[in-house]
Amino acid sequence: MLRFATIARRTVPAGLALALLAATRVLGADAPSGRGVGPITTVELGPIDAAKAKAGATVFETKCSACHKFEERYVGPALKGVTQRRKPEWIMNMILNPEQMCREDPEARKLLGEYMVQMTFQNVSQDEARNILEYFRQMDSGGTPAK
Ligand code: HEC
């Protein structure tokens, strides 16, 4: 009995370590870039463009505000600070390709697990998604909600 306990104490942690190692290998195979999955691979950021941000705010009001607020959790996450916690490419891919993001991107998968609602593609063009990103940047640099 004592001997079994000793063996178990030695082998169980070793087994766990191996399993962890294997898991890291599998995940490492497609190591997340933090840019998400979707059509956007690079975004050039300049100073905040007020006209773009304004256009983005309009799209946001129509297509996103049913599920998102900035200050508080709603159907989806509160969006305040999103440009600090995510890369610009990630944000645009989430807007343009939410279903695949929630299947394949580790951070988006976590959100789906937490919110239990699949964000759906809102028929937003790449330009519109870029404008929304600009609106988020403006909000995160002290702007006020459009409405
Ligand atoms: C039907 C409700 C719904 C609509 C409409 C919606 N979202 Fe979402 N959104 C969610 C949910 C829920 C999540 C969390 C991921 C998931 O579960 O799909 C999310 C996640 C996000 C995230 C990631 C937030 C974070 O903390 O990283 C961003 C950015 C986002 N949405 C932007 C938008 C934009 C922009 C629009 C409009 C074009 C939009 N969403 C429309 C429900 C919605």
Q: Whose CA is nearest to atom 29 of ligand 1?
A: 91
**Does 135 fall in a domain?**
yes
Ligand 1 and 66: CB distance under 6 A: yes
C-alpha closest to that of 130 among 66, 43, 65, 47: 43
> Residue 24: its pLDDT value, please?
47
31-69 per-position pLDDT tens digit: 678 999 999 999 999 999 999 999 999 999 999 999 999
How many separate domains does the chain show? 2
pLDDT above 80: residue 18: no
Output 9 or 1, whichever has higher pLDDT. 9
**Count, residues in the chain:** 147
**Does 45 fall in a domain?**
no
Q: Are 24 and 54 contained in the same domain?
A: no
Q: Which atom of ligand 1 is nearest to the CA of 118?
A: 18
Output 30 or 60, whichever has higher pLDDT. 60
Structural domain boundaries enclosing 5: 1-31
pLDDT above 70: residue 6: no
**Does 115 fall in a domain?**
yes
**Does 128 fall in a domain?**
yes
Q: Are 63 and 135 contained in the same domain?
A: yes
> Residue 15: its pLDDT value, please?
57
**Does 38 fall in a domain?**
no
60-108 per-position pLDDT tens digit: 999 999 999 999 999 999 999 999 999 999 999 999 999 999 999 999 9
What separation in Å is there between the alpha carbon of 14 and the centre of ligand 1? 41
Tokens matching residue 35: 């840019």
Q: Which atom of ligand 1 is nearest to the CA of 108?
A: 15
E-state strands within the chain: none
Q: Are 54 and 8 contained in the same domain?
A: no
Q: Whose CA is nearest to atom 13 of ligand 1?
A: 76
What whole-number distance in Å separates Cα of residue 121 and Cα of residue 63?
Answer: 10
**Does 145 fall in a domain?**
no
